[in-house]
Chains A and B, each alone.
Chain A
Amino acid sequence: MHWPRSFAPRLALAMAAVVLVASVCGAGWGWLRAQSALRQQLDLVLAAEAEGLIRDYENYGLAGLAEATRLYTRRQGPIFLSLAAPDGRIIAGGVPVAPVTLRGFATLPRADDGSEIRALGALLPGGVNLLVATELAPVNRAAAALAWTPPIAGGAAALLALALGFWLARRLERRLAAVSQAARGVMAGDLTQRLPQSGRGDEFDRLAATVNTMLARIETLVAELRQVTDDIAHDLRSPLSRLRQRLEAAVGAARDPDADTAVLEAAIDDLDGILATFAALLRIARAEAGAGRDAFSDLDLSALVEGVAEAYAPVVEDAGRSLATEIAPGVRITGSAALLRQALANLLDNALAHGAGGISITLAPDGSLSVADEGSGIPEAERDNVQKRFYRLDRSRGTPGTGLGLALVAAIARLHGGELALGQGPGGHGLAVRLRLVPAPQRDQPRGP
């Protein structure tokens, strides 16, 4: 049997059993209560009857009572009456029990079949014994009938619970089987699988929706990871092959200390380039995975931008260009100082290497940071591409660089909940790179003097 391994029928079965046990116990208790209540009723009836007969005796004497008894007995009602002389001789009527002199209530066995008879005896003056009696069997039958009602209803309820449990279990199993199948698909590597939804919007659908969102996120992350792996394979292989060729050629050539030193130094330069690429890739990957947020702190973005601008100012001047800054004071942000510094440095490196004319750095009070130059800019169609890893414009292939600078800036912007946008520089030419960052809420009372 497989159904007890499923939750709903187990629950249904347990509930049916509980209902059944409770109704059987209730039946026993109900029977006792009903019987005792009905017997009390019966005793009251007997007492009322005896009252009436004693009144007859008081009004009409023994002869009147005997007459009433005989008349009543002839009618053969449900109540037996008998009137016995002190010596036990029956004057009138008859109760089908062994001869007895009784005062008060008693339950006696019937003379012929032994079934119970309830009797009330009264001693009249002169030692005459009046017996008023009736059979108990109808009362017992009524008590039993009353007592059996709850177990019958309980049994029906238990059966219903069982049926409902099986139906629910079948439904649940069908839905879970679909979920299970989708999950197995994901496990087997098909990350596009999603859990089915019934469209009813119930708790199953809500759970499935949450799991589907999670699956979508996993799919994106894995796709990004694959992209990184492909990029690394593609872009690290060429410099590594170049390095290998260089070393192979040197091994094959005649030994010459000067030439060997030159080759080794060039090899170290090659390796440094590869390591720089590698470091940038790792930083991008970490930033995109959201790593580093735990190291975020509240920092003064204005001061940070000022510091980087100061570091670059002499370099820009030496290149015969100008650096203008327009930095709103006191802009605070929650973020990583190291990464934000690197983002701005990358933008300035780009402006120096690929741009032309004056460079301007602007930090607006809303936390948007832009670096603009007056060079030839980037065609609109290429603006998305340059944010991708290793993408380089054809005209800049000859210049040094890893092709990862803007990709890292974009990743850093996203890590800080912002974004990177490329546009035209002031006056409609050149390039403006804008980093939208979210400034920290202003403190009510700035600290310090």
Chain B
Amino acid sequence: MRILLIEDDPATADYLAKGLAEEGHVVDRALTGKDGLFLALNEPFDIIVTDRMLPGPDGIAITRALRASGIATPVLMLTALAEVDRRVEGLEAGADDYLAKPFAFAELRARIRALARRPAPAAAEATELAVGDLRADLLRRAVTRGTRPIELLPTEFRLLEYMMRHPGEVLTRTMLLEKVWDFSFDPTTNIIDVHVSRLRRKLEAGGEPSMIRTVRGAGYVLAPALGAGHG
């Protein structure tokens, strides 16, 4: 993927560019908002990662300018701790995701992948999701694995729906907290692990192979079970 990275701190920019290049992405860098906006308007990118505070136009202004020009490239906004509460403002300006500094690189990687594989708008209106032999009917809120129906609580259904919309992607705890529970902070209690392990138990209650994989130090992946009969 071709990624535009707009970041005024050279050390952070080096670190991020190196990490993304190792992932196999092509990274274009801009050190000021002006250069970043120029590149973003004139060249095609798959993803734009921009700092919020920049010399020249800031991340919010860049995003607004892009959206005003009809460019729908996904924007991931990075922000210093002090502005975490300003998340809504960034999202309202047209950013697709918002990540507070400092963050683990795995968190950035996971979010970039999620943005890159963002389902097309039409898919968002789909009434049924399927991953391997797992099916979820969004209208009836019914879930089946193969032919076995699975009873889920409303929270568990929301969690599963989010995971099924991003199959094969690493979903971090922070992402799940934000997207499923709307928590913009990390509670001391690890509520995600408990919810995921409950969901996992229900998905495997019929003795089927595991579909939710834990990625150490990063998060969880929902993917078709390896060696499943329907593969």
Tell me, yes or no, whether A148 is within 8 Å of chain B by CB: no
List chain A residues, Cβ under 8 A from B82. 282, 286
| 9 A–B contacts from the bound complex (CB under 8 Å) | A275-B81, A283-B85, A307-B181, A310-B154, A314-B194, A318-B194, A338-B184, A342-B183, A348-B187
CB–CB B183/A278 < 8 A = no
By the criterion CB–CB under 8 Å, are A311 and B155 in contact?
Answer: yes
Chain A residue nearest in CB terms to B153:
A310
- B60 CB, min distance to chain A CBs, angstroms: 14
Please determine whether A337 and B185 come into contact, CB atoms closer than 8 angstroms.
no
CA distance A308 to B183 in the complex (A): 9
Residues in A whose Cβ lies below 8 Å from that of B88: 295
Say if the beta carbon of A196 comes within 8 Å of chain B.
no
Known: A312-B189, A338-B87. A345 touches B183 (CB 8 A): yes
Contact digits for A261-277, partner B, Cβ 8 Å, 1 yes 0 no? 00000000000000110
Residues of B with C-beta under 8 A to A405: 188
Alpha-carbon gap, A291 to B87, bound state (A): 14
Closest chain A residue to B85, Cβ basis: A292
CA distance A292 to B87 in the complex (A): 11
Which chain A residues lie closer than 8 Å to B183 at the CB level?
311, 341-342, 345
Q: Are B85 and A336 in contact (CB under 8 A)?
A: yes
Q: Is the CB of B85 within 8 A of A311?
A: no
Interface: A315 (CB within 8 A):
yes
Q: Does A137 contact B (CB under 8 A)?
A: no
Contact, CB under 8 Å: B182 / A352: no
Q: Do A279 and B81 touch across chains, with their CB atoms under 8 A apart?
A: yes
Q: Is the CB of B181 within 8 A of A286?
A: no
Give chain B's interface residues, CB within 8 Å of chain A: 81-82, 84-89, 100, 102, 153-155, 181-191, 194-195, 198
Whether, in the assembled complex, A400 has its beta carbon less than 8 Å from a beta carbon of chain B, the answer is: yes
- Separation of A310 and B157 alpha carbons in the complex (Å): 12
Write the chain B residue with the least CB distance to A310. Answer: B155
Q: What's the Cα separation between A112 and B89 when bound, in Å?
A: 104
A145 interface hit (Cβ, 8 Å): no
Q: Determine if A205 is an interface residue (Cβ-Cβ < 8 Å).
A: no
The chain A residue sitting closest to B192, CB to CB, is A311
B214 to chain A minimum Cβ distance, whole angstroms, is: 17
Query: Is A96 in the interface zone, CB < 8 Å from B?
Result: no
**A401 sits at the interface (CB 8 A):** yes
Min CB gap B188→A, angstroms:
4
Q: Is A56 interfacial (CB 8 A cutoff)?
A: no
Minimum distance in angstroms from B112 CB to a CB of chain A: 21
* Contact A349–B189 (Cβ < 8 Å): yes
Least CB separation from A281: chain B residue:
B81
Q: Are B182 and A312 in contact (CB under 8 A)?
A: no
Chain B residues whose C-beta falls within 8 Å of the C-beta of A339 in the assembled complex: 85
Given A310-B155, A314-B194, A314-B198, A345 and B187 touching (CB < 8 A)?
yes
Q: Are A314 and B195 in contact (CB under 8 A)?
A: yes
In the assembled complex, the Cα of A154 lies from the Cα of B194 at a distance in Å of 94
Q: Choose one: A279, A286, A291, A315; the contact of B189 (CB below 8 Å).
A: A315
Give CA–CA (A352, B188) in the complex, Å. 10
- Give the docked Cα–Cα distance between A382 and B85 (Å): 31
A22: min CB distance to chain B, Å:
62
- B191: contacting residue among A282, A291, A292, A311, CB under 8 A: A311
Chain B residue nearest in CB terms to A351? B189
Q: Using an 8 Å CB-CB cutoff, how does the interface string of A321-364 with B read, 1 for contact, 0 for none?
A: 00000000000000011110110011011001100000000000
| Interfacial chain B residues near A348, Cβ < 8 Å | 187, 189
> Complex: how many Å from CA A225 to CA B224?
54
Known: A308-B181, A318-B194, A338-B87. 13 other contacts (CB 8 A): A275-B81, A282-B81, A295-B85, A295-B89, A307-B182, A310-B154, A314-B191, A315-B191, A342-B183, A345-B185, A349-B189, A353-B188, A405-B188
Residues of A within 8 A of B87 (CB): 338
Please determine whether A315 and B194 come into contact, CB atoms closer than 8 angstroms. Answer: yes
- The CA of A358 and the CA of B79, in the complex, are separated in Å by 39
Closest partner residue, chain B, to A295 (CB atom): B88
Q: Can you name the residue of chain B whose Cβ is closest to the Cβ of A342?
A: B185
Chain A residues near B189: list those with CB within 8 A: 312, 315, 345, 348-349, 352-353
* Chain B positions within 8 Å of A310 at CB level: 153-155
The CB with the most chain A CB atoms within 10 A, among B84, B153, B194, B195, is that of B194
Nearest chain A CB to B44 CB, angstrom units:
34
Q: Chain B residues near A338: list those with CB within 8 A.
A: 85, 87, 182, 184-185
Q: Tell me, in angstroms, the Cα distance from A368 to B195 when the chains sit together.
A: 28
Give 6 closest A-B pairs by Cβ, nearest first: A349-B188, A345-B187, A338-B184, A315-B194, A310-B155, A314-B194
Contact of A400 among B155, B184, B186, B188 (CB under 8 A): B188
Please give, as numbers and ranges, the residues of chain B lying within 8 Å of A353 by CB-CB distance.
Answer: 188-189
Contacts of B184 in A (CB 8 A): 338, 341-342
CA distance A279 to B102 in the complex (A): 10
Chain B residues near A345: list those with CB within 8 A: 183, 185, 187, 189
Q: Identify which of A338, A352, A401, A405 gathers the most chain B CB atoms within 10 Å of its CB.
A: A338
Once bound together, how far apart are the Cα atoms of A311 and B155, in whole Å? 7
Q: Give the chain A neighbours of B186 by CB distance below 8 A.
A: 276
Cα A308 to Cα B155 with chains together (Å): 11
Give the docked Cα–Cα distance between A348 and B88 (Å).
25
* Bound Cα distance A54, B82 (Å): 113
Find B181's partner among A282, A295, A311 (CB 8 Å cutoff): A311
Which chain B residue has the least Cβ–Cβ distance from A280?
Answer: B185
Q: Closest residue of chain A to B186, judged by CB?
A: A276
- Residue of B82, B100, B154, B187 with highest tally of chain A CB at under 10 A: B187
Q: Nearest chain B CB to A270's CB is how many angstroms away?
A: 13
